[in-house]
Amino acid sequence: MITFIKRYVSRFPYAIAGVVYALRSDFSFRVQVLLVFAILSAVAYFAWPLREIEWLALGLAYTLMLITELQNSALEEALDHLHPELHMRIGRTKDMAAGSVLLAAFFAVGAILFVVLT
């Protein structure tokens, strides 16, 4: 069991490196980290004090959006590497991945409205 835990924990630097790389090189991820954090901070300030369920809703919505943006960026980078020329089906794949980010953003806006209007 200890070996399993050590092997699992030894992979953390790769995940952290991926997030750091995204922060440094991906404009969309950087904007979502900074801008959305500022928006959520403003909501928290104006809707203070927040209940635990409201903190949870905002945190989950924010995390979902960041996760989908990371996945979208990773997919786009891999597809651009594998097939650098324009291709209709690859474009559709990238559009669908971007659509997942849009849906996550809608969910985040819904969570913000839930907190502000309740």
Segment 93-112 mean pLDDT: 95
Domain regions of the chain by residue span = 2-117
What is the per-residue pLDDT for 87?
A: 92
What are 48-59's pLDDT values in tens digits?
888 888 889 999
Residue 59's closest CA among 46, 44, 74, 45?
Answer: 44
pTM: 0.86
Active-site amino acid positions = 69
Contact 29, 23 (CB under 8 A): yes
What are 68-85's pLDDT values in tens digits?
999 999 999 999 999 999
29-61 exposure pattern, b = at least 16 Cβ within 10 A, e = fewer:
beebbeebeeebeebbeebeeeeeebeebbeeb
How is domain 2-117 classified at the CATH fold level? Helix Hairpins (1.10.287)
